[in-house]
Structure 1
Amino acid sequence: MTDERRLCRLDEIPDGQARGFPGAAGSFIGLFAVRRGGAVHVYVNSCPHVGVALEMMPDRFLDGAGEHILCAVHGARFQVEDGFCISGPCAGDSLEAVPARIDAEGAVWVPADAGA
């Protein structure tokens, strides 16, 4: 089994919203998680277009309707469920998904090296 690190508790991410997190130790690239009910989708916080962080303000990863992940720099929109870019300069590309699991106590875990 690979080493894991705890991001947070699922209930620390409001349903239908997102939250950013630091990446692996020593990394400059962070992670973010989007909650949909009892599920969480975690991605590396890097737009596939030019590698910039997606949000301009902390934890602002979703469009105004909360339907899509939005790159604040170039306006690319990504599906929450799989990170696939549906519009913008990187249409057809995808965000880098991070495997995540929720334990019996409601903690969200990702690989220790996620975002490295």
Structure 2
Amino acid sequence: MTEDIPEREARAFDLDNGDKIFITQRDGSFFAYQNLCPHLQVELEFLENQFLDREQEYIECSTHGALFLVESGECVSGPCQGQALEKVVISVHSDGGIYLALDA
């Protein structure tokens, strides 16, 4: 539900298929990504649901400090520059539900 993901915060979710994702909110829009750094293939957060940098401007990899744009997942600082987080397609419904569209 949208109220479970406050503005400029993120929440992790474990999917039934074993994938780990996170969803974050920025300016009323929601963005979802695989919880996997493109550089070292490790989970991003340093503490539970802590995906954003101190200023809550960028998604940050806890392993090496790479920074990613919230809106696109593009790496803008760190060893994986030019790469991006793997986006997860979501839709937000008027009932406040957030729904995933996953590959079969």
Q: Under a length normalisation based on structure 1, what TM-score does the superposition of the two structures give?
A: 0.84
Distance 1:91 1:20 in 2: 24
**Alpha-carbon deviation of 1:113?**
4.8
| 2:13 is equivalent to residue 13 of structure 1 | no
Task: Give aligned pairs, total.
Answer: 104
Please list every run of at least 4 consecutive aligned residues from structure 1 whose deviation after the TM superposition is greater than 4 angstroms: none
- Letter aligned with residue 47 of structure 1: C
Q: Report Cα offsets for 1:71-116 as digits up to 9, x if no partner.
A: 00011000000000001010110000011100110111112459xx
| 2:55 is equivalent to residue 65 of structure 1 | yes
Greater RCO structure (CA 8 Å; 6+ sep): 1
Structure 1: gaps (5+ residues)? 1-8
- What RMSD over aligned residues (CA atoms) do the two structures have, in Å? 1.4
Structure 2: gaps (5+ residues)? none
Give identity over the alignment, percent. 39
Q: Report Cα offsets for 1:34-80 as digits up to 9, x if no partner.
A: 11132100000000001100012100000000000000001100000
